[in-house]
Structure 1
């Protein structure tokens, strides 16, 4: 196993948790701006319209994907800088 993969392995879970919290905060802020409501609608929430639910879901997915990708890319670049090889 390459040194970069060994160095990268313990970082993954911590990075995943941190990026999840960042993404959740970013989505909550985006929804406050777009939806004019503190809480994003849940699919089973009867107090929000279909339109709100169908807008919130892909927005949340896009934000989570972007944050996760940025975190993964940054950690891979850092691992490469520290070990000399990319973990991928």
Structure 2
């Protein structure tokens, strides 16, 4: 139980770092895709629906991927150090 509380603190810090990293990755990917330096904001009148939705989809995919990788890596590392898995385990029949 105490180990899971320690893991929560650890994972919060790592998640913040992951969010920063995902933002940087998205910026570079968007620059490659569009040639623009900045992704469009949904409220920018001069940007098309397609461009705004594409940016949102790419950003969501990158953030989801980075979050999953960081969460899984953190849980795996925690388990190796403590011998305790910090998350849920599924019952497989």
TM-score by length of 1: 0.92
Q: CA deviation at 1:87?
A: 0.2
- Residues 6-65 of structure 1 deviation map (CA, whole Å, 9 limit, x = unaligned): 331211221121000000001000000001100000100112211110111111000000
Per the alignment, residue 43 of structure 2 pairs with 44
For structure 1, the 5+ residue unaligned runs are none
Determine the C-alpha separation between the residues in 2 that align with 1:54 and 1:7. 38
How many positions carry a matched residue from both structures?
Answer: 87
- Which residue of structure 1 aligns with residue 32 of structure 2? 33
Q: In 1, distance between residues paired with 2:35 and 2:46?
A: 14
Query: Are the aligned partners of 1:76 and 1:86 in contact in 2 as well (CA < 8 Å)?
Result: yes
User: How far apart, in 1, do the equivalents of 2:86 and 2:12 lie?
Assistant: 15
User: What do you get for the CA RMSD once the two structures are aligned?
Assistant: 1.1
Larger RCO, structure (CA 8 Å, separation 6 or more): 1
Where in structure 1 do 4 or more consecutive aligned residues deviate above 2 Å?
none
Unaligned runs of 5+ in 2: 88-93
